[in-house]
Amino acid sequence: MGGHQDLERLAASARAALVREIELSGAWASDPVWREAFASVPRHLFVPYYYVGVRGGYERRWGEHPDPAARERWVLGAYADAPLATRLRDGELLSSSSQPSLMAMMLAQLGVTDGSRVLEIGAGTGYNAALLAHRLGDDDLVTTVDLDPEITESARRHLAAAGYHPAVVTGDGARGVPERAPFDRIIATCTLPTIPPAWVAQCRPGGRILTPLATGLVLLTIRDAGHAEGRFLHTPAFFVPLRGTGRTEPERAGLGGVPRRAREDDLFRFLLALSPGSLDPQEAYALWEREGAPRRERYGITVRGERAWAWLDDPEGPYAWPFT
């Protein structure tokens, strides 16, 4: 085994297994139309090579490896329900293909409907843009943007190989893509330190923005020009930062006064990440303990013009703080 036809058969089998795995996770229960997209779009064409962690560093897997067994490992790994590191520089992860079940959940939560114009922030391999183009049945409805011209060029190449031709733009994702606006949906596949006002301005009233933020995923609805509001989804999420924005979860000093059980708790660390510069660790701990270690979905974000604030339970309630 290992010839082109054998690899294509193996890819089809592995893709079907991945679809079954995602289905069992319940990721697209709210919008099963995504099942057909994941069953059709060949992920292996978007990751001609990737890296897997091994002791002492990374191992490169690639589709043109001279060893047939290595090519099979590449195909099977391409359809694992796992994130794949696709670009490294000096040991730092620059780009990746996200875990498919997380992608499926995010796409379902985005609430895409027929005719939706969608902007993706962070082109990555192009796989997510292909899923959107397949679901919408019209490449022109999908725009994906990335700052790195090498990434956009390879994404464009992967998309064309798979038969998709959405708009692939090289530019600063925090600025959106004004020449392609307005959009009905914006989805980010990289994390930022705040919600860029440009995204809100470029999204139609009633539209949605879904973006990683502070180790979570927030789903905002556009109320009107310059005003968006929404809650976090229940799931944790860790994405590569948008290039040029720096660290998104700053180191927090003064944790010595916080009990170890809190310091190591995922939900407490989420609250810390959600309140940089607004709540010190002791204030965050007092809130976290008083409210019974609130889960992510109790928190939300409101954006009005240049102002943004995070809140617990109610945007106008007692627990609200500037989010910068």
Tokens at 175, concatenated? 């600025």
Q: How far apart are CA 217 and CA 121, in angstroms?
A: 14
Active-site residue among 95, 96, 97, 116?
A: 95
- Confirm if 301 and 218 have CB atoms less than 8 A apart: yes
Cβ density class 158-177: b for 16+ within 10 Å, e for less: bbeebebebbbbeebbbebb
- Confirm if 168 and 152 have CB atoms less than 8 A apart: yes
User: Catalytic annotation on 30?
Assistant: no
Query: Which residue has tokens 């292996």?
Result: 44
Q: How far apart are CA 69 and CA 268, in angstroms?
A: 45
Q: Strand, helix or coil at 290? A: helix
Read off φ and ψ for residue 158, nearest 5 degrees: -60, -45
Query: Which residue has tokens 């990721």?
Result: 27
Q: How far apart are CA 174 and CA 196, in angstroms?
A: 6
- Confirm if 78 and 14 have CB atoms less than 8 A apart: yes
CA-based max dimension of the chain: 64
Active site residues per annotation:
95
